[in-house]
Amino acid sequence: MLTLDEFDFALPNELIAQQPTAERSASRLLHLVGGRMEDRRFRDLPELVDPGDLLVFNDTRVIRARLLGEKESGGRIEVLIERIDDARHAVAQIRASKSPKSGSLIRLENAISLIVRGRSGKQGEFFSLELADDGDFWSLLDNHGRLPLPPYITHDADCDDETRYQTIFARSPGAVAAPTAGLHFDQALLAELDARGVEAAWLTLHVGAGTFQPVRVQLLAEHRMHAERFAIPPETAAAVERTHARGGKVIAVGTTSLRALEAAAQVGELRAGAAETDIFITPGYSFRVVDRLITNFHLPKSTLLMLVSAFSGIDAIRDAYRHAIDHRYRFFSYGDAMLLSRSGSTNSRSFRASHPFGQCP
């Protein structure tokens, strides 16, 4: 059985990107093709895809989900909204020296009063919150919230982050983390892809705060993913069907797009509509929709590292990460990207027989 430690690797701290590149499409791109690796720039992407292919983007928009304040007792508290259920109710992660009790009041940003209504989530990792005063969560977050940068980015969000930690096509508010593969696209690159005959389609998956939660079990079969909301428009489902019918490739821009597409095809053909998914993709998974994947480099022991290992093969991903570290690629949300193709051999037997991520054979 697959274990957590098998997805570990050593990453020098200086390779964790703290700022984006000056231009979005100037990031580096590691292209894995036919067992080979090519060092490219992201702006080279039109050369690496074919007319008739389909890029599927996640148009979610990051909300100002981070809030600081204090409990009734005066203790400091940090709240990260996971999701807004309606104008008056939300679910959140809470950091405090002692967890707030059900029924207690918390005051955030000297502007928002919330009542804690108890634990939420599969492992009780979230809290249910209710507004104590007038207003609605959406407007209060817009006016008083802070952009929730990932925990491995060490600076507080500033004006540049307000722009660069959003994709240029972000339009559906609800995420608490950016779909980072999409951060590399600018208008000029989109126009060049369109001119080449590459089609574009859109879906929405709201990335939740649980995306940064570590896997806490050794046996991956025991891990339970947090659920995330997604919606696939009918025109996107039709574009996927049309692309495959003409022999083109469906290219997911980011693991969020891939998870939504694969979740919507669990019972057969890709289905349009809105739903939730807690799909956990590990080596051995049979992909139904996505042929190629654009993705950033992911954290050690993360579910996203397991996903890309399932997609392209554990040995290929291990070699790619070793190459990226040796050649000083930049990692994580503001880092560089990879263009991957789907492998035909992602079974767990070959995984267990191979050497760990952080070591040479």
pLDDT score at 354: 39
Task: Report how far residue 332's alpha carbon sits from residue 329's, in angstroms, rounded to the nearest whole number.
Answer: 10
171 and 256 both lie in a single domain: yes
Tell me what pLDDT residue 123 has: 62
pLDDT tens, residue by residue, 243-256: 999 999 999 999 99
Local confidence band at 348 (pLDDT 50, 70, 90 cut-offs): very low
Number of domains the chain is built from: 2
One domain, residues 70 and 57:
no
Please say which residue of 146, 178, 193 terminates a domain.
146
Dihedrals φ, ψ of 327, to 5°? -100, 15
Residues 297 and 164 in one domain: yes
Pick the last residue of a domain from 146, 179, 205. Answer: 146
> How many Å apart are CA 358 and CA 302, to the nearest integer?
14
Residue 11's nearest CA partner among 250, 249, 311, 300 is 300
Domain boundary among 105, 122, 146: 146
pLDDT, tens digit (0-9, with 9 covering 90-100), for 279-311? 999 999 999 999 999 999 999 999 999 999 999
| Number of separate helices (H) and strands (E) present in the chain | 9, 17
Contact assessment for residue 333 and residue 295, using Cβ atoms and an 8 Å cutoff: no
In terms of domains, do 200 and 284 share one? yes
Q: For 37, how many CA atoms within 13 A lie in the half-sphere containing its CB?
A: 18
**Model confidence band, residue 344 (pLDDT cutoffs 50, 70, 90):** low
Same domain membership, residue 184 and residue 121: no
Q: What is the mean pLDDT of residues 214-222?
A: 88
Average pLDDT rounded to a whole number, residues 3-10: 93
Q: Per-residue pLDDT for 126 more than 70?
A: yes
Q: Do 97 and 167 fall within a single domain? A: no
Q: What is the CATH number of the domain that holds 261?
A: 3.40.1780.10
Question: Does the pLDDT of residue 352 top 60, yes or no?
Answer: no
Q: Same domain for 175 and 303?
A: yes
How far is the C-alpha of 43 from the C-alpha of 58, rounded, in Å?
19
Q: Is there a single domain that holds both residue 303 and residue 192?
A: yes
Q: 273 in the Ramachandran plot: left (φ > 0), alpha (ψ -120 to 50) or beta?
A: left
Mean pLDDT throughout 175-185?
Answer: 97
Verify that 21 and 88 share a domain, yes or no. no
Strand duo 28-33 + 337-341: pairing: parallel
Position 293 scores a pLDDT of 98
Same domain for 107 and 15? Answer: no
- Identify the pLDDT of residue 226: 82
Q: State the pLDDT at residue 347.
A: 36
Give the CATH number, domain containing residue 96.
2.40.10.240
What percentage of the chain has pLDDT greater than the value 70? 93
Tell me what the mean pLDDT of segment 214-225 comes to.
88
Is the dihedral angle over the CA atoms 288, 281, 174, 179 positive or is it negative?
negative
pLDDT given for residue 345 in this prediction:
39
Domain that holds residue 237: 4-62+160-353
Q: Looking at residue 122, what is its pLDDT?
A: 63
Task: Give SS3 for 105.
Answer: strand
pTM for the whole thing?
0.92
